[in-house]
Amino acid sequence: MSEFDKLKIVTRYELLKQLRRKRFYGGLAITVLAVVLTIGLYQGLDLPRHMRIPDQLINQYGAEIFAIFVTSMGALAVLAAVFFAGDAIAGEFEGKTGYILFPNPVKRITIVVGKYLACFIATAAIILVAYLISAGALLVFYGQVPSGIVGSLAIALVLACFMISMAFAFSSVLKGSMGATIATLLTYMVVFSVISMSLSYAGYNPWFMPDRAGDSMTATYGIPFENVFGGMMGGGRMTSGVMQASQDPTLGFFVLLAWAVVLFNVSVWVAKRREMI
Amino acid sequence: MRDAILIKGLSKYYNGFLALDNLSLKVRENENVALLGPNGAGKTTTLKLLCGLLHPSSGAAYINGTNVMEERERAISNVGAILETPEFYPFFTPDEALSYLGKLRGMRERELGHRIREVLKLVGLQKWANIRIEKFSRGMKQRLALAQALLHDPPILILDEPSLGLDPRGMVEIRDILKEARKKKTILFASHLLTEITQICRKVAIIDHGKLRFYDNISQLKKKYRSLERAYLRLTEGAI
């Protein structure tokens, strides 16, 4: 049997494992709730007017502005990836399931790749549900789905890849699953944000930071950000770092992909050498 | 008869602590050998090294002539193992867990289904085949661990205290399974239970502080020390 056949087996059973867990359905429920609430609040409270977006721009980019709001909520589903991936490697050691899985004629790299694919498929399923609801709402309220939603979805998916890779890297190094999950969330939400913010204030463009690259999923709709959202900031300007990172979704996509590939390789390298003590 | 298991000068340090000290051991095909020693003697470390779960500090181990450190997957395909106190994914049923492991070991769908029913019956879990493992007791998981070790009918069994956590009936049943298995298989197993060792194995390797103290037939050991218990106490004197 080839390693590819074994990879298919590992992926299938790892996916079954993910689908049997409450956290998958919890992540799905929270994401759907967040998207539906955003749709309801946006429409019910007429948010664009409260955000001081000029009428002319609302008329011109109504569907795109709405899409930015609802798909940003849907992309929150990438956080679910951290909960799927945090225990992927560490859990085998911590929970002692590795004593059954590892003494089999299958390469450690095949196990890690299979786990990665299963985590990605589970996360992608939740992201797709969120985007489908968003697309449905766009059709209902605006009679159209902006083409930029495809780019936004692509960046959400590659952001999920990045999050899974980072969680895998921590999971391969740390002893416990909880530690790996918390470390991933803190790194993304606090450490990277602080670095990006500091670089922005110092006048550097943090285009290479994954959090800023992730922000570019809102820039796929081709609307003039500064004009549309300038009013939100009071002074008529957004933080320069956000503006710069939001300008090029293609760059954001490849930045996230590069981070995902590097971190995934780190996790494979460590997992291959980790001993079952 | 060829060597089913060959250990050559195997040493293992854990952060400067020497757990296994230049251990050499040969287990011939169809031999049944018990690894006996006090807690921390190096028994589990030896078995983990043989299954490729640890990297040795020096030395080598071979299974059916294949170097475990160089060709782990090929070497391990001949082995069924129970190590430490194994756990299964709690969301799986025994049927699913064994399907997963059987497929990874290259078993075909049709023979696998039949074999799963066979091994689950053998360990007394046939009625639990479709119940999630999260509901299982320690003893039931240990039975399932033996079922997975026997699943692909491997020529070599490496077992670390296979009757751990079992009630007296379970211990007798597992012992009977191993007595039957020893007729056709090579067995290397670690245990603290002297009666279990004498019932299943003809040879014993006593290790202490990572060193091999004695390796011969149990009958020879009894001749020299009058009983296995006395031999164990004499050969592991001073052990904590």
CATH of the domain at B15: 3.40.50.300
In terms of domains, do B148 and B160 share one?
no
- Tell which residue, A141, A136, A131, A139, has the closest CA to residue A42: A141
Cβ distance of A99 and B100 shorter than 8 Å: no
The length of chain A, given as a count of residues? 277
Burial of A263 (0-12, 13-18, 19+ CB in 10 A): buried
**B-chain residues near A6 (CB < 8 A):** 104
Question: Does the ipTM exceed 0.95?
Answer: no
CA distance to partner chain A, nearest, from residue B171 (Å): 21
State the amino acid at position A103 in one-letter form. P
> How would DSSP label each residue in A180-197?
HHHHHHHIIIIIHHHHHH
Cβ distance of B92 and A95 shorter than 8 Å: no
Query: Residue B165: which pLDDT band, with cuts at 50, 70 and 90?
Result: confident
In terms of domains, do B233 and B198 share one?
yes
Cβ distance of B14 and A106 shorter than 8 Å: no
Q: Which of B152, B169, B193 is the last residue of a domain?
A: B152
| Burial profile B6-22: b = 16 or more Cβ within 10 angstroms, e = fewer | bbbebbbeeeeeebbbe
B interface test, pick of A2, A99, A276 with most B CB neighbours within 10 Å: A99
CA distance to partner chain B, nearest, from residue A94 (Å): 10
Per-residue pLDDT tens for A130-182? 999 999 999 999 999 999 999 999 999 999 999 999 999 999 999 999 999 99
Cβ distance of A276 and B53 shorter than 8 Å: yes
In terms of domains, do B173 and B132 share one?
no
CA distance to partner chain A, nearest, from residue B198 (Å): 27
Query: Residue A235: which pLDDT band, with cuts at 50, 70 and 90?
Result: very low
- Could you list the residue range(s) of the whole structural domain that residue B227 is in? 1-78+155-240
Cβ distance of A99 and B73 shorter than 8 Å: no
pTM attached to this predicted model: 0.91
Residues 6+ apart with CB under 8 A from A250: none
Distance CA A200, CA A212 (A): 10
In terms of domains, do B5 and B117 share one?
no
Q: Which of B127, B152, B177 is the last residue of a domain?
A: B152
> How would DSSP label each residue in chain A?
--HHHHHHHHHHHHHHHHHHSHHHHHHHHHHHHHHHHHHHHHHHTTHHHHTT--HHHHHHHHHHHHHHHHHHHHGGGHHHHHHHHTTTTHHHHHSSTHHHHSSSSS-HHHHHHHHHHHHHHHHHHHHHHHHHHHHHHHHHHHS---THHHHHHHHHHHHHHHHHHHHHHHHHHSS-HHHHHHHHHHIIIIIHHHHHHHHHHTT---TTSHHHHHHGGGGTT---HHHHHGGGGSSS---HHHHHHHT-HHHHHHHHHHHHHHHHHHHHHHHHH----
In terms of domains, do B9 and B22 share one?
yes
Residues 6+ apart with CB under 8 A from B108: none
CA dihedral A105, A108, A114, A119 (to 10 degrees): 140
In terms of domains, do B23 and B70 share one?
yes
In terms of domains, do B182 and B142 share one?
no
**Which residues of A lie closer than 8 Å to B, measured between beta carbons?**
1, 6, 9-10, 13, 16-17, 20-21, 95-107, 273, 275-277
Mean pLDDT of chain A: 89
Question: Which residues, listed in sequence order, are joined to residue B13 by a DSSP beta bridge?
Answer: B18
B78: pLDDT strictly greater than 50: yes
Residue of chain B with shortest Cα separation from A17: B91
In terms of domains, do B67 and B184 share one?
yes
Residue of chain B with shortest Cα separation from A275: B54
In terms of domains, do B71 and B176 share one?
yes
Per-residue pLDDT tens for B176-200? 999 999 989 999 999 888 888 998 9
In terms of domains, do B64 and B167 share one?
yes
Cβ distance of A103 and B87 shorter than 8 Å: no
**A-chain residues near B92 (CB < 8 A):** 13, 16-17, 20
Query: Residue A261: which pLDDT band, with cuts at 50, 70 and 90?
Result: very high
In terms of domains, do B3 and B74 share one?
yes
In terms of domains, do B161 and B71 share one?
yes
Structural domain count of chain B:
2
